[in-house]
Amino acid sequence: MITEIGELIKVGVVFEEGKKITPKWFIWNGRKHSIERVTFTWKVQEGRNMLHHFAVTDGTNLYELCYDTAQLSWRLMNISTL
């Protein structure tokens, strides 16, 4: 079951060589979620703005995180139970 969220969140990331972004954890509703694995990434161009999407899992659920390069902000887009 997929639940749409669309809320701003805080994310801990590693910026690696070659402009690779790897999220490691995120905080949502006052709770820290450790990211076990990034399962898929994709980019969406909206005008001049680039949105980086990440499908990640904490081992229990699958989350879609989105990094907005224009706003320098992160959103939890949705949650899917495994």
Phi and psi, residue 71, nearest 5°: -90, -10
Amino acid 60: pLDDT: 93
Q: Which residues of the chain have pLDDT under 70?
A: none
Amino acid 43: pLDDT: 96
How far, in Å, CA of 14 to CA of 24, rounded?
Answer: 7
Please count the structural domains in the chain. 1
Domain boundaries, position 47:
2-81
